[in-house]
Amino acid sequence: MCGLAGFLRTETTPNRDAHRQWLEAMGLAIVHRGPDASGHFLDDSVGLTHRRLSILDLSDSGKQPMKSPSGRYFISFNGEIYNYRSLRKDLEADGYVFRTGTDTEVLLALFEQKGYRCLDELNGMFAFAIWDAEAKQVFLARDRLGEKPLYYYEEGGRFAFASELKSLLKLPFIPRTVRPDSVKDFFAYQYVPDPKTIYKNIHKLPPGHWLVSDGVRTEQHQYWDVSFSQVTAKSLSEIEDELYSLIEDSVKLRMVSDVPLGAFLSGGVDSSAIVGLMAGLSDRPVTTCSIGFDSERFDEVKYARKVAEQFQTNHHEFTVRENVADNLAQIARFFDEPFSDPSFVPTFFVSQLARRRVTVALAGDGGDENFAGYSKYYTDYVENRLRKLFPDAVRHGLFPRFAQLAGMINTPMARKAQSLVGTLALDPDEAFSVTNSFFRRSLWDEVVRDDFRRDTTGYDPADITRNHYRNAGTDDHLSRILYTDIKTYLPGDILVKVDRMSMANSLETRAPLLDYRVVEYAAGIPSALKMRGKEKKHILKETFSRLLTKDILYRRKMGFSVPLADWLRNEIRTLANSVFYNEEAGLAHFFDMEVVRAVWQRHLQGENHHSQELWSMLNFELWWQAYGEGGKDMT
C-alpha cells in the first residue's frame, strides 16, 4: 500500500526549488502510508511524489513515480490490482516486455494501451495519478467501491491531488476555509460524505470515477455503478454454490503477496468465513488478530477464539483497557477531517497488533452492506410493516402531534415512543434518512448557534441519503437502502476508518467481500434471501454453513461496538472536560457552549442517550485543533 500526491505547475515563473520542497513536504505528510521508499518527479508542468509500502516485487525496480517505456506517461499508484497476473499475460501476448514484477507496471502498460477503458478490466482497490507529458494533463482514478482515497484541489488555475488531505494542506496556496454545510453533514453522519470535504475547494473523487485535468479545464466521469435492477431466478442451491466459489476466488486473489499476510478476526460470519477460506487455501497456519474489551457486553474475543481453534490459526489478541485517553488525540489526527465512528479506536489497535506480525491483513468489510447485516435493516423492516397499517392521513396528520407530546416527557419510554411515532409519520425514504442520522434533530436545535443555523438554513444533510435512495434503479425497498449504504456509509465511514487506521500502522488491508464481482452478484440476489424475518445475512449464512459452525453463524451480531458512554464518563472524562469547558474551542464557532456543557453534565449524571453526539463534538474539536482554520497541522 502506498500514498501519492502532486500538483500541476501553472505558474508563469516556475520556481523549481520551492516546488521540490512542496513535493517533499507532501510526501512526508503521508510517510505512514509508505515507509519503505519515496520518489519524486518534477518537470516544468507537473510535480509527482510517492511513498511506497512494498508488497509485490520488493526490489527497487518497483520505485515510483514510474515512467512508461515510451516516456509519455508517469504513474503514481496507491493500491493493489489483484488480477494483474492475467492482465500481464495478455499484454505480453501483445508484445509488451516487462521490466519489473509489479502490478504498477501492468497498470501503466494497460493505460497506455487502452486509456480510461483500462478501468473496466481492473479487479482491485486503487487510486492513481497518471501524467500525460504529451497532452499535458493528469488523469486521476479511484476504485469502484472507494477502498482507496483520493482528494483534489481546484481553484484559480491551480490543481493539486493527494491520498490524504494532510498532504494537500502542505501546499501554501490552499486555504483551510471550512464549509458550513460539511460541518452539518459531519454531525449528521459521523463523516463528511463525498464529493465534499470539510474544506471549500477541496473535493473527494467519488468511488467508481475518473477525472482528467490540464489545470484549466477539468472533466469527471463515472465508469461504474452497482445495479439492483436484475434479480436472479436461480435456485437457492445454485446461488449458494456460485456465491461460495466467487468469494473463495476473491480470497485467493487477495492472498497474493511477497510479504507476511494474515487476517482480522472478530468471530462474526464475515471475518470467520474469510479466515476459513484462507485456511483451506494456505499451506501454513493463518495469522489472525482480534480486539477485546473489558466490558462483557462489547467483547467478541471468545467467538474469535472458537474460530481460531477450528481453523488452527496463529491467533493473537489485544484488550482495550486504559489505552483510550492516552492515544485518542493522536489516533484522531490520522483523519484529516472530522470523523467520529467510535469503532476507529479498536480498528487502530487491531491494526497495530496485526502489523507486528504481518504487512497485509484480510478483513470482512462489505458483508453487511452486500447481504443486509445491520440491525437497522430489520428495524426499518418492522417500521415499514407498521407504517402500512395506518392511512397516510393518520400518519402525516396525527403522528407528528403524538411525537411532539411524547417529547415533552423526559423518560426513556417516552423518548422511545417519540422516536417510533415520529418515524412512522415519515415515508420510507425519509425514515431511512433519519435512521442514518447520528445527531438527534431535537438536540441539534438546542445546541446550535443562531448564526450557524442561519448560515445553513435550507440545507438538509438527509438529502444525500434521500437522493441515493431515489436513484437506486429499483422499487425494492431493502435493495434501495443497501444501494444507499454502498454509496454513502460504506465509502464515507467504513472504508475511511479501515484505510486510515491500517495505514496509520503501515498495514495493508484487503476486503474480499468488496470484490466488485461479489458486489454485483449480491445485488442480483432477491432481498427475501438476504433478510428473512429477524435473520440478517440469511443467504451468506446458508452459503457458509458448509464451513462454519452454527454458534458462529447464528449468534447475535455485536458489530465493532465500543463502551462509549462509559468511556466518556470515565476513561476520557478529563479530555472531554477540557473541550467542553473551553470557550475558545472550535466548537464555539458552531455551538452554544453553555448548552453543550448542560448536556455533558446530564451525561455525567447517568443520562446515556446523547453519548454519540458528545463523542462527535469531542472528535470535531480534536480535528479542529490539528487541522481547522488556523490549526496546528500536527503531521
Domain CATH for 99: 3.60.20.10
| Pair 500, 256: CB distance under 8 Å | no
Q: Per-residue pLDDT for 269 more than 80?
A: yes
Query: Tell me: the pLDDT tens digits for 507-565?
Result: 999 999 999 999 999 999 999 999 998 899 999 999 999 999 999 998 876 555 678 88
- Comparing 544 with 216, the larger pLDDT belongs to 544
* pLDDT over 90, % of the chain: 73
| Pair 292, 299: CB distance under 8 Å | yes
Instruction: Report the distance separating Cα 190 and Cα 546, nearest Å.
Output: 38
Instruction: Report the distance separating Cα 433 and Cα 192, nearest Å.
Output: 15
Both 129 and 259 in one domain: the answer is no
- 516-523 helix and 236-253 helix, angle to the nearest 10 degrees: 160
What is the rounded average pLDDT of the residues 313-336?
A: 85
Both 255 and 210 in one domain: the answer is no
| Pair 307, 269: CB distance under 8 Å | no
Residue 488 maps to a domain: yes
Both 173 and 40 in one domain: the answer is yes
| Pair 354, 262: CB distance under 8 Å | yes
- Strand ranges for 294-382 from DSSP E: 314-320, 360-362
pLDDT value of position 83: 97
C-alpha cell at 56: 509485490
Both 109 and 184 in one domain: the answer is yes
Beta-bridge partner residues of 429: none
How many domains does the chain contain in total?
3
Instruction: Report the distance separating Cα 250 and Cα 182, nearest Å.
Output: 36
pLDDT value of position 176: 94
At 54, the pLDDT band (50, 70, 90 cuts) reads: low
Query: Tell me: the pLDDT tens digits for 158-191?
Result: 999 999 999 999 999 999 999 999 999 999 999 9
pLDDT value of position 497: 97
Residue 107 maps to a domain: yes
| Residue ending a domain, choose from 553, 582, 607 | 553
pLDDT value of position 323: 64
Instruction: Report the distance separating Cα 459 and Cα 180, nearest Å.
Output: 10
Both 16 and 101 in one domain: the answer is yes
- Comparing 435 with 540, the larger pLDDT belongs to 540
| Pair 153, 177: CB distance under 8 Å | no
- Domain span holding position 187: 2-222
Both 212 and 264 in one domain: the answer is no
Q: Which residues are catalytic?
A: 2
- Comparing 386 with 243, the larger pLDDT belongs to 243
From residue 429, how far is each of 36, 187, 467, 469 by CA, in Å?
A: 47, 20, 9, 7
pLDDT value of position 56: 58
pLDDT value of position 635: 44
Q: Which residues contact 205 (CB under 8 A, 6 or more apart)?
A: 127, 140, 141, 142, 150, 151, 152, 194, 195, 211, 220
pLDDT value of position 334: 94
pLDDT value of position 634: 44
- Comparing 440 with 365, the larger pLDDT belongs to 365
What is the rounded average pLDDT of the residues 405-422?
A: 76
Both 295 and 161 in one domain: the answer is no
Q: How many CB atoms lie within 10 A of CB 83?
A: 16
Residue 195 maps to a domain: yes
Query: Tell me: the pLDDT tens digits for 334-377?
Result: 999 999 999 999 899 999 999 999 999 999 999 999 999 999 99
What is the rounded average pLDDT of the residues 203-216?
A: 97
Q: Per-residue pLDDT for 12 more than 60?
A: no
What is the rounded average pLDDT of the residues 54-61?
A: 59
Both 317 and 263 in one domain: the answer is yes
* pLDDT over 70, % of the chain: 95
Beta-bridge partner residues of 74: 67, 131
pLDDT value of position 615: 96
Q: Which range has the worst mean pLDDT, 176-185, 258-267, 268-277, 561-570?
A: 561-570
At 1, the pLDDT band (50, 70, 90 cuts) reads: low
Instruction: Report the distance separating Cα 195 and Cα 175, nearest Å.
Output: 18
What is the rounded average pLDDT of the residues 75-102?
A: 96
- 180-189 helix and 462-470 helix, angle to the nearest 10 degrees: 70
Instruction: Report the distance separating Cα 487 and Cα 563, nearest Å.
Output: 28
Residue 116 maps to a domain: yes
Both 170 and 301 in one domain: the answer is no
Which CATH number do you get for residue 247? 3.40.50.620
Q: Per-residue pLDDT for 306 more than 90?
A: yes
Residue 461 maps to a domain: no
At 297, the pLDDT band (50, 70, 90 cuts) reads: low
Instruction: Report the distance separating Cα 569 and Cα 580, nearest Å.
Output: 13
Residue 568 maps to a domain: yes
Q: Per-residue pLDDT for 480 more than 60?
A: yes
Residue 418 maps to a domain: no
Residue 578 maps to a domain: yes
pLDDT value of position 305: 94
Query: Tell me: the pLDDT tens digits for 385-397?
Result: 888 888 888 888 8
Both 522 and 569 in one domain: the answer is no
| Residue ending a domain, choose from 518, 553, 588 | 553
Both 14 and 109 in one domain: the answer is yes
Both 512 and 626 in one domain: the answer is no
| Residue ending a domain, choose from 494, 521, 553 | 553
* Half-sphere exposure in the Cβ direction for 168 (13 Å, CA): 28
